[in-house]
Amino acid sequence: MTGLYGLILDVDGVIADTEAINARASIAMFEESFGLKGMVRTDFDKGLGRGAAAYVRAAAEVHGLELTDAQVSAATEMRQEKFLAMLNEQPLPPFEGVLELMQEAMSRPDFRVAIATSSTREKSEAVLQSAKVPYREITYITGSDVARKKPDPELFLTAALRAGVDPVRCVVIEDAPDGVAAAKAAGARCIAVTNSTTADKLAQADWIVASLAEVDVDSVLKLIEQSERRTGRK
């Protein structure tokens, strides 16, 4: 691990604008399965970045709907089916700067790049294919690979371990408060991008940007080196 740096990216809301489709698919599922109407995207905010079950439960709670584990499981399956159908009809391009940053890091011998998402492999792989991310060439961790979801750090610790990089020499790119908390709990630095929520909700991050076009490998290195100077680690 000595001498290596890591760049770890979330998928939903970081690679591409999936949150709008996530909400549309979920709203359609709630209306079809439970007869709930008038739901809006912000109903799901407390579940952002925490996996499908937490996402569904967050909106159910807003509307006073108590769901059993079996109902949540069925709801998440239907939500994913609707999401994949919508994505098939309208492929998503990557956010500005995403592919450029990944390719720059991948071209360097001292960097390892990883994808780490709480989403399922089927759902996240569809997004990565749509955005033309070279995920087969890098470490790729999904919610199926870990027992605990964000804000627990297990997802990012697992990604760093499989990439062969010390977590404290990694920068995680996130778009949700629980993702930022998970990155910090893993000991990594975190860049938060305001694709899914406002900057004030991402205040725990080391750097907040409006677009990954503002980020390059030199700025990623700077974050890691600043942290090493503060802690005395090298």
The string of pLDDT tens digits covering residues 182-220 is: 999 999 999 999 999 999 999 999 999 999 999 999 999
Start-end of H helices in 63-116: 69-89, 98-106
Residue 30 pLDDT > 90, yes or no?
yes
Residues 95 and 17: beta-carbon distance below 8 Å = yes
- 88: buried, middle or exposed (CB in 10 Å: 19+, 13-18, 0-12)? exposed
Q: For the residues 1-13, what does the mean pLDDT come to? A: 90
| Cα 34 from chain centroid (whole Å) | 28
The length of the chain, given as a count of residues: 234
Q: Note the pLDDT tens digit of each residue in 82-92.
A: 999 999 998 89
**Structure confidence at residue 136 (pLDDT):** 97
**Sheet strands (E) in the chain:** 5-9, 111-116, 139-141, 170-174, 189-193, 207-209
Residue 135 pLDDT > 60, yes or no?
yes
Which residues fall within 8 angstroms of residue 74, CB to CB, at 6 or more apart? 33
Determine what percent of the chain is predicted with pLDDT higher than 70. Answer: 97
Q: To the nearest whole number, what is the mean pLDDT of the chain?
A: 94
Cα dihedral: 12, 220, 185, 114 (round 10): 50
Which residues fall within 8 angstroms of residue 37, CB to CB, at 6 or more apart? 31
DSSP secondary structure code for residue 169 in this structure: G
d(CA 178, CA 121): 20
**Structure confidence at residue 228 (pLDDT):** 79
CB count within 10 Å of CB 64 equals 7
CB count within 10 Å of CB 73 equals 14
Residues 56 and 26: beta-carbon distance below 8 Å = yes
- Could you tell me the domains of the chain? 5-17+93-231 (3.40.50.1000), 19-89 (1.10.150)
Residue 21 pLDDT > 70, yes or no?
yes
Per DSSP, what are the bridge partners of residue 112?
6
Residue 1 pLDDT > 80, yes or no?
no
Confidence category of residue 226, pLDDT binned at 50, 70, 90: confident
Residue 33 pLDDT > 60, yes or no?
yes
Residue 234 pLDDT > 80, yes or no?
no
